[in-house]
Amino acid sequence: MTNPTLRATGLTKLRGGKRVLDNVDLTLEQGSVTAILGPSGAGKSTLLRAIAGLEDLESGTIESDTQILTNGGALVLPEHRNIGMVFQDFSLFPHLSVIDNVLFGLRRGSNEERRSRALAMLEQVHLAGRANDYPHMLSGGEQQRIALARALAPAPDMILLDEAFSGLDGKLRAELRDTALAAIAAQGAAALMVTHDAEEAMYMADTLALMIDGQIVQSGAPAELYLNPVSASAARLLGEINEWDGPIENGKLQTPFGPIPATASGLSQGMALVRPEGIDISLNPAGEYRAQDVHALGANLAIRVEAPDSTIWLTKITIESAVKAGDRLQVTLNPHFCTIAV
Amino acid sequence: MAITQRLSPAAERRDRSGWSFDPKIAGIAGALICALPVMALVPMAIAGGGGHFSHLFETVLGTYTFNSILLVAAAMAGTTLLAVPTAWLTARYEFAGRRLAMVLLPLPLAMPSYVAAYAWMSMSVAGGPLNAATGGLFPSISGVAGASFVFSLCFYPYVFLLARQAFASEGSHSFEAARILGAGPFRAFWKVALPIARPAIMAGLALVAMETLADYGTVDFLGSPTFTVGIIRAWISFGDPEAAARMALILVILTLAFFGFERWIRRRRSIAQAGGRHRPNPRVQLSGGRGAVALLFCLIPVTLGLFAPVAHLLQLTLETPRQASPWAAVGGTLTVASLSALLAIVIGVGAAYAARSGGTLARISVRIAHAGYAVPGAVAALGVIAILGAAQSLIGGISWAASVTISGGGLLALLFAYQARFAAAAIGPCESAFQRITHSMDQAARSLGASRFEVIRRVHLPLASSGMITAAALVFIEVMKELPATMILRPLDFETLAISAHHFASDERLAQAALPSLILVGLGIPVMLLIGWLSEREQT
């Protein structure tokens, strides 16, 4: 494991009596992208701004590998933290040209060197041709790329992205994610992004942290979080989930769609969490289950299935399956997609 | 298809409901009210031989021009010094009393500058409290320097309000972006936050310049005459309409130049703002001691511009046992101010509808009506007289000069002149209120079965009401404070607070001027507070 670029421990921030950040721990590593996913108002942006030094904290420590940045109040001013940041509204300086925006943070070296560095950064985001334009002449996607180039130009140890893609639409967004990942990888910086878009977080992150009400409720690799959520609310952040409360008997929790083995022992009660992809269904005229409705959803069919006791769960199977509304079905649970939370 | 056809603006005018309204007419009427008085000045200015004028040119025009330039430059510098730091502090930092400071800082707009001039002059002359307290060190407030001082104190809110808004929205985001890119707080302020707010500050300064040039009461009282003084002297003392009209045209060209500059800046600004979306940043908390310093600093402008003069006027009033009864003047002021506010709402709403759905001609008309804001009161009043004179000479065939002198009366003429000057102040807020009502809202309401009248009653009025109240309140305050137009056009027995304060002050009876002045400020402050409250409510 490489040295952490940044380690935050016990960050706590109060605003109007509410804990916007509640004892948050976070570690960022060089060359790795960490994403924080949470509903709006969870404290994601506050966490990002605290790391940037734009927000004071009630308590907690933020340290880089060389120095302590924050110990309660901000010790190291934002301009001395060597952090890059891409804002949701891009915050390009409207009175400066594109190249001057990128040059703004480049203060070392001769004019020649600074200029060639800035042009190289623009090259990296495929906008070298727009160097002398002004921000208002660019499209939203182009402004976003300039903001990225400006943030990366001073070769920061770490780059922070605050809902950096949420102002843009579908296809453009997907392209920009790859541009951003490539540019960040080329710099070798640690990246921290916050978003409320689950797909974006999973796509970009090496490590994903789920944040609810000022707390990080779970963190790890995206696939791990998707398959083994610690709670129903954590599970819901990443996609649809079927929930079932029940007693655990003989190491199993019985649901209307079948038993789920409990991994931890000693629990008497639990909540079964089953992803829609974890329910395999097949047509069977004698089956006890019934397809209530069927909708196409990208490469999948989303099917609501009714169990004998009238419980309805959502399932997803690949789109070529010939299931229609009203069909009788039989179901089996795929244990990889099932978990039991307390 | 049938539905969209019925809802298109062209079809709406042919609507079979019987009730029809062409917004174009309202727009054109607004434009005429503002433009006609200025246009009517041209024949008036070239009517005479110009002998008197050339004499005038040699003697006083030089002084007027010199004073105007000095006053505008000094008032701009003074308002910048008072407004920009306070705007930055209240936009960027959080400290105990910040909200109070934000409520107080715009209040000097309720203070007519001539009232501030009476108070400061009276405090600083030999024997006045300031003079006594400083052992004669505090300079007497008079002349060009004194007028610049008073204008800075009374007009800084124009800059404060615009700069604060700019700092709070785009400025603070870019400031943070600059900090993260390695700029210290000073470099980030000078290189980023200030340049970004510069257009807003310049727009505010253009307003300061227009107000400075339009002022009559302050420059007349403090003895630094500008064109307005020349116009009123030529008209009232010398009975020389040509000279008055010529000076009025010079003045209106000056103010229109500033107005054009302000519009140009605003248009450029709206392009620059087009990129990105803004949500306000949390403000930086200042701890107790530094917060107290910030609060004290923010209280300086409002103390000098409002509290100190009001306190002094209060003292003068209490020390003066025999006061002339102010009630006739209060009645006169309330009458013209409320009638003007009502008229301005009608014009403002009409123009807003015109700008919204009226086509090119209507939009151009509304733009012309906006320029009315650049027409100083003295110019508007003289223009109204010129129109009346032209109308009378058309009807009666009487000669120019004679007809002009007879027609200088009537409350209607006065109300006309007020609209020429202040309708633009109502059109702005009405227009922005109506801009937020999209055509699709109309269409949604119509498709849900609302009649055209219901759309107005259930959709437009609730959405636009606070904009309309703001418009009325602005015009109410401005008309109360207006002095030169009232002096030129008022019927002989008609008193207002501004007139009676000015008369007492001109006669060196400051103690008697204090009471009408105080009532004027006392009426203005609640209206200013209402405007502030409405705009705060808009933003949340």
Span B525-539, average pLDDT: 89
Sheet holding A33-37, edge to edge: A83-86, A158-162, A190-195, A33-37, A207-212, A215-220
Q: Which range is most confident: A197-201, B125-129, B405-409, B455-459?
A: A197-201
Question: Does the structure show a pLDDT above 60 at B292?
Answer: yes
Nearest-neighbour CA in chain A from B263: distance (Å): 18
Span B106-119, average pLDDT: 96
Span B59-76, average pLDDT: 93
Tell me the β-bridge partners of A71.
A61, A73
Within a 13 Å sphere around the CA of B458, how many CA atoms are in the beta-carbon half? 13
Q: Do A143 and B272 touch (CB under 8 A)?
A: no
Q: Which range is most confident: A161-170, B219-228, B270-279, B398-407?
A: B219-228
Sheet holding A252-255, edge to edge: A258-261, A252-255, A242-249, A269-274, A338-341
The pLDDT of residue B53 is: 59
Span B150-160, average pLDDT: 97
Please tell me the distance from the alpha carbon of residue B156 to that of residue B439, in angstroms, as a whole number.
38
Provide, as residue numbers in chain A, all residues whose Cβ is less than 8 Å from the Cβ of B195. Answer: 93, 95
The pLDDT of residue A112 is: 93
Nearest-neighbour CA in chain B from A91: distance (Å): 5
The pLDDT of residue A88 is: 82
Pairing of strands A33-37, A207-212: parallel
* % of chain B beyond a pLDDT of 70: 88
The pLDDT of residue B397 is: 56
Q: Do A90 and B276 touch (CB under 8 A)?
A: yes
Q: How far is CA B100 from CA A296, B106, B290, in A?
A: 58, 11, 17
Q: Do B272 and A136 touch (CB under 8 A)?
A: yes
Q: What are phi and psi of A104, to 5 degrees?
A: -55, -45
b/e code A289-314 from CB counts within 10 Å (16+ = b): bbbeebeeeeebbbbbbbbeeeeebe
Please give the mean pLDDT across all residues of chain B: 85
* CB proximity B6 to A under 8 Å: no
- pLDDT interval class at A81 (50, 70, 90): confident
Provide, as residue numbers in chain A, all residues whose Cβ is less than 8 Å from the Cβ of B279. Answer: 88-89
Span B53-81, average pLDDT: 88
* CB proximity A267 to B under 8 Å: no
- pLDDT interval class at B540 (50, 70, 90): low
B75-95 residue pLDDT tens: 999 999 999 999 999 998 999
Do A164 and A292 belong to one domain? Answer: no
Provide, as residue numbers in chain A, all residues whose Cβ is less than 8 Å from the Cβ of B278. Answer: 89
DSSP, collapsed to helix, strand or coil, labels residue B277 as coil
Instruction: Name the residue among A84, A93, A105 with its Cβ closest to that of B174.
Output: A93
**Closest Cα in chain B to A79:** B182
Do A325 and A205 belong to one domain? Answer: no
Do A126 and A226 belong to one domain? Answer: yes
Domain boundary among A201, A232, A263: A232
Nearest-neighbour CA in chain B from A214: distance (Å): 17
Output the six-digit token pair for B453. 């009248």
The pLDDT of residue B48 is: 63
Span B149-169, average pLDDT: 93
Question: Does the structure show a pLDDT above 70 at B396?
Answer: no
Pairing of strands A83-86, A158-162: parallel
* CB proximity B276 to A under 8 Å: yes
Instruction: Name the residue among B181, B281, B282 with its Cβ closest to that of A104.
Output: B181
Please tell me the distance from the alpha carbon of residue B205 to that of residue B160, in angstroms, as a whole number.
10
Do A219 and A305 belong to one domain? Answer: no
| Residue-wise DSSP of B438-497 | -HHHHHHHHHTT--HHHIIIIIIHHHHHHHHHHHHHHHHHHHHH--HHHHHHS-TT---H
* CB proximity B195 to A under 8 Å: yes
Question: Does the structure show a pLDDT above 70 at B327?
Answer: yes
The pLDDT of residue A1 is: 43
Do A12 and A38 belong to one domain? Answer: yes
Tell me the β-bridge partners of A195.
A37
Question: Does the structure show a pLDDT above 80 at B252?
Answer: yes
Do A98 and A184 belong to one domain? Answer: yes
* Residue among A76, A91, A152 with most chain B CBs within 10 A, to mutate: A91
Same fold, B20-49+324-540 and B50-273+280-320: yes
Please tell me the distance from the alpha carbon of residue A122 to that of residue B38, in angstroms, as a whole number.
54
Contacts of B173 (CB under 8 A, 6+ apart): A87, A89, A91, B278, B281
**Closest Cα in chain B to A97:** B272
The pLDDT of residue B522 is: 96
Please give the mean pLDDT across all residues of chain A: 90
The pLDDT of residue B280 is: 62
Question: Does the structure show a pLDDT above 80 at B5?
Answer: no
- pLDDT interval class at B391 (50, 70, 90): confident
Q: Which range is most confident: A79-83, A281-285, B273-277?
A: A281-285
**Closest Cα in chain B to A147:** B177
Q: Do B173 and A94 touch (CB under 8 A)?
A: no
Q: Do A89 and B271 touch (CB under 8 A)?
A: no
Output the six-digit token pair for A134. 């002004």
Do A126 and A254 belong to one domain? Answer: no
Nearest-neighbour CA in chain A from B277: distance (Å): 5
A14-52 residue pLDDT tens: 988 889 999 999 999 988 999 999 998 899 989 998 998
Output the six-digit token pair for B339. 């009638």
Evaluate if pTM is beyond 0.90. Answer: no
Span A53-67, average pLDDT: 87
Question: Does the structure show a pLDDT above 80 at B6?
Answer: no
* CB proximity B462 to A under 8 Å: no
* CB proximity A342 to B under 8 Å: no
Contacts of B31 (CB under 8 A, 6+ apart): B364, B365, B366, B368, B369
Q: How far is CA B148 from CA B137, B213, B261, B358, in A?
A: 19, 12, 22, 43
Question: Does the structure show a pLDDT above 80 at A198?
Answer: yes
User: Looking at the 3D structure of chain A, how many domains does it have?
Assistant: 2
- pLDDT interval class at B440 (50, 70, 90): confident
Domain ranges of chain B: 20-49+324-540, 50-273+280-320
B294-320 residue pLDDT tens: 999 999 999 999 999 999 999 999 998
Nearest-neighbour CA in chain A from B89: distance (Å): 17
* CB proximity A108 to B under 8 Å: no
Q: Over B219-265, what HEC string results?
A: HHHHCCCCHHHHHHHHHHHCCCHHHHHHHHHHHHHHHHHHHHHHHHH
Output the six-digit token pair for B10. 């062209």
Q: Do B182 and A107 touch (CB under 8 A)?
A: yes
Q: How many Å separate Cα A202 from the centre of its chain?
A: 6
Q: Which residue, B272, B251, B317, B245, is CA-closest to B511?
A: B317
Query: Across the A/B interface, how many CB contacts are shorter than 8 Å?
Result: 94
- Find out if CATH 1.10.3720.10 is the number for domain B50-273+280-320: yes
The pLDDT of residue A267 is: 77
Do A40 and A166 belong to one domain? Answer: yes
CATH of the domain at A173: 3.40.50.300
What ipTM did this prediction achieve? 0.71
A84-102 residue pLDDT tens: 888 887 888 888 899 999 9
Domain span at residue A319?
A: 240-341
Q: Looking at residue B417, what DSSP letter applies?
A: H
Nearest-neighbour CA in chain A from B179: distance (Å): 5
* Residue among B173, B174, B180 with most chain A CBs within 10 A, to mutate: B180
Domain boundary among A232, A267, A285: A232
Range scoring the smallest mean pLDDT among A100-104, A140-144, A269-273, B274-278:
B274-278
Provide, as residue numbers in chain A, all residues whose Cβ is less than 8 Å from the Cβ of B198. Answer: 95
The pLDDT of residue B302 is: 97
Q: Do B192 and A143 touch (CB under 8 A)?
A: no
Span B391-414, average pLDDT: 63
Do A257 and A112 belong to one domain? Answer: no
Q: Is the pLDDT higher at B396 or at B533?
A: B533
Output the six-digit token pair for A32. 């790795």
Range scoring the smallest mean pLDDT among A134-138, A331-335, B319-323:
B319-323
Provide, as residue numbers in chain B, all residues whose Cβ is less than 8 Å from the Cβ of A104. Answer: 178, 181, 183, 191
Please tell me the distance from the alpha carbon of residue B495 to that of residue B414, in angstroms, as a whole number.
12
- pLDDT interval class at B71 (50, 70, 90): very high
Interhelix angle A111-124/A140-152, rounded to 10 degrees, is 130
Q: Do B174 and A140 touch (CB under 8 A)?
A: no
**Closest Cα in chain A to B270:** A136
Q: Do A56 and B285 touch (CB under 8 A)?
A: yes
Q: Do A94 and B285 touch (CB under 8 A)?
A: no
Provide, as residue numbers in chain B, all residues whose Cβ is less than 8 Å from the Cβ of A87. Answer: 173, 176-177
Do A114 and A192 belong to one domain? Answer: yes
Fold of B20-49+324-540: MetI-like fold (1.10.3720)
Domain boundary among A232, A262, A289: A232
Long-range contacts of B62-67 (CB under 8 A, 24+ apart): B63/B225, B64/B225, B64/B226, B64/B227, B64/B229, B64/B230, B64/B247, B67/B144, B67/B219, B67/B224, B67/B225, B67/B226
Q: What are phi and psi of A34, to 5 degrees?
A: -110, 135
Q: How far is CA A26 from CA A8, A29, A114, B42, in A?
A: 5, 10, 34, 75
Do A190 and A55 belong to one domain? Answer: yes
Question: Does the structure show a pLDDT above 50 at B277?
Answer: no
A266-295 residue pLDDT tens: 778 889 999 999 999 999 999 999 999 999
Provide, as residue numbers in chain A, all residues whose Cβ is less than 8 Å from the Cβ of B167. Answer: none
* CB proximity A80 to B under 8 Å: yes
Provide, as residue numbers in chain A, all residues whose Cβ is less than 8 Å from the Cβ of B192. Answer: 93
Q: Do A84 and B180 touch (CB under 8 A)?
A: yes
- pLDDT interval class at B104 (50, 70, 90): very high
Do A18 and A144 belong to one domain? Answer: yes
